[in-house]
């Protein structure tokens, strides 16, 4: 397995990219890894069927069953060729990977903080709008509230009150009617 340094984990994995803004790097990371050992290619060798494996991995597979581990085609150790281009790509990717992954994680964390701040602001705005709705009212809203409060008040009437006094009391509460 790969050794990344003191502050990096010893085992790296292409899935480390998935929850970052650079998630499209995951297939690239997987492409520079051996299908047998799942680590970055070490001395990459190209088979006659055009698959690439670590030198030791493909030699062990061929010694065991004489077939390519990817496509199961017959293969001979003598036909293996060093894949120099892949070796250069792996070397460059391995040196750039820690900084790129660190950058991607920092960007992800920054985006999460922005989203949290945005959610918090939206909640504060909603709270302020609710408070301002309770404070600011149009004249018609105020009149409606006053009339509903007046109509919802229960007025007790003494049994000793005469019929005329009762009409006067109703007139005061509900206002004159247009009959």
How confident is the model at residue 159, as a pLDDT? Answer: 52
What residues are paired with 154 via a beta bridge? Answer: none
Locate all alpha helices (DSSP H) within the chain, ordered by sequence.
25-31, 55-65, 84-135, 139-152, 163-174
Are 83 and 32 contacting, i.e. CB atoms less than 8 angstroms apart?
Answer: no
Query: Half-sphere exposure (CA, 13 Å, Cβ side) for 72?
Result: 0
Are 49 and 58 contacting, i.e. CB atoms less than 8 angstroms apart?
Answer: no
**74 pLDDT exceeds 90?**
yes
* Residue in 175, 177, 179 with CA at minimum distance from that of residue 150: 175
Contacts of residues 152-159 at CB distance under 8 Å and 24 or more positions apart, as own/partner, are none
* Residue in 19, 1, 9, 33 with CA at minimum distance from that of residue 111: 19
Q: Which of 1-15, 86-100, 152-166 has the highest mean pLDDT?
A: 86-100
For residue 74, give the 3-state DSSP assignment. strand
Q: Of 29 and 161, which is predicted with more confidence?
A: 29
What is the CATH topology of the domain spanning 14-107? Herpes Virus-1 (3.30.40)
Q: Which structure tokens are listed for 168?
A: 């006067």
Give the range among 71-80, 95-104, 151-160 with minimum mean pLDDT: 151-160
pLDDT-based confidence at 164, cuts 50/70/90? low
Going from N- to C-terminal start, the domains of the chain cover 14-107
pLDDT-based confidence at 4, cuts 50/70/90? very low
Mean predicted lDDT score pLDDT of the chain: 78
């Amino acid at each position: 397995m790969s050794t990344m340094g003191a502050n990096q984990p010893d085992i790296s994995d292409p899935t480390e990219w998935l929850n970052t803004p650079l998630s499209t790097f995951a297939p690239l990371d997987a492409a520079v890894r051996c299908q047998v050992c799942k680590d970055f290619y070490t001395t990459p060798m190209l088979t006659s069927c055009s698959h690439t494996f670590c030198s030791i991995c493909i030699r062990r597979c061929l010694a065991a069953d004489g077939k390519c581990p990817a496509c199961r085609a017959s293969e001979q150790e003598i036909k293996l060729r060093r894949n120099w281009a892949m070796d250069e790509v792996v070397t460059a990717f391995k040196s750039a990977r820690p900084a790129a992954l660190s950058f991607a994680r920092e960007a992800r964390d920054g985006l999460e903080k922005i989203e949290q701040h945005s959610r918090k602001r939206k909640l504060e705005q909603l709270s302020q709008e609710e408070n301002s709705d309770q404070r600011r009212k149009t004249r018609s809203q105020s009149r409606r509230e006053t009339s509903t409060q007046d109509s919802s008040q229960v007025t007790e009437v003494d049994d000793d009150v005469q019929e005329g006094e009762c009409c006067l009391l109703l007139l005061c509460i509900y206002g004159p009617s247009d009959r």
